[in-house]
Amino acid sequence: MGTRLILVRHGETEANVRKVWHGHLDAPLTPRGRLQVEATARRLASMHREHPIHAIYVSPLPRARRTAEAIARAIGRAPTVEPGLREMSIGDWEGLSFQELQQRKRLWERWARDPHFAPPNGESPVAFSRRVRRTMEGLARRHPGQTLVVVTHGGVISNVLAQWFGEGPQDWVRFDAPNCAISVVEWDGEGWHPVRLNDVDHLPRETRTPRPATEIFDDPPSTPPGSSR
């Protein structure tokens, strides 16, 4: 087996429910989010018994850290904070609803015209895409032949999966991850291969949440994502 990454999106937050962009901001997990996290920790413990997990890396944002802490308790590995796993930031525009960003700020229209556009004090889609790919591939190089859990955000996961298995970052909607979805990917020395993508079978049906893009947009835009993820 090559180097394996187990990508986990954090549990549902209050910002997810309110459809507000919290990239570098944070919001508490909802009761449903806490149930998702508990179920995900149990699933990772089962995976650990089948194939040992050697390390856990986590975004510095609290919603991801709370998710990683439950997984860490379940498998007996302390998480390491990796700044490059944080969600995309839109700077001064964070805290606005997706509707406001779409209709008033015309954010996705701006990105469609110019993927180098960054809101004030925020990131551009191009910069974000480079960061998340560099971070993921750096973790894989640090742990050749090992299995890592990476607890991060919807924007990070959908972007990097679209780069590896899609038509580039603009293909993110196809790889949009629900809360606490698990993706398993493997590096064989020449390329990345999908083992499992955005699996939620471990979650009780009443705790599952829709794919974020279907909740945010009537017609999802084909631009790299960032969100309250």
Kindly report the pTM of this predicted structure. Answer: 0.93
pLDDT tens profile 170-189: 999 999 999 999 999 999 98
User: Which CATH class, in words, describes the domain spanning 3-216?
Assistant: alpha beta
Give the model confidence (pLDDT) of 91-146 as tens digits: 999 999 999 999 999 999 999 999 999 999 999 999 999 999 999 999 999 999 99
Let me know if 87 is a catalytic residue.
Answer: yes
Average pLDDT, whole number, for the chain?
93
Segment 25-35 mean pLDDT: 96
Residue 82 falls in the annotated catalytic set: no
- d(Cα 149, Cα 57) in Å, to the nearest integer? 6
| Identified catalytic residue from 12, 87, 94, 123 | 87
Residues of the chain above pLDDT 70, percent: 92
Residue-level pLDDT at 216 = 57
CB-count burial class (<10 Å; 0-12, 13-18, 19+) for 14: middle
Say how far apart CA 19 and CA 60 lie, in whole Å: 21
From the candidates 10, 22, 24, 48, which is the catalytic residue? Answer: 10
Per-residue pLDDT at 70: 98
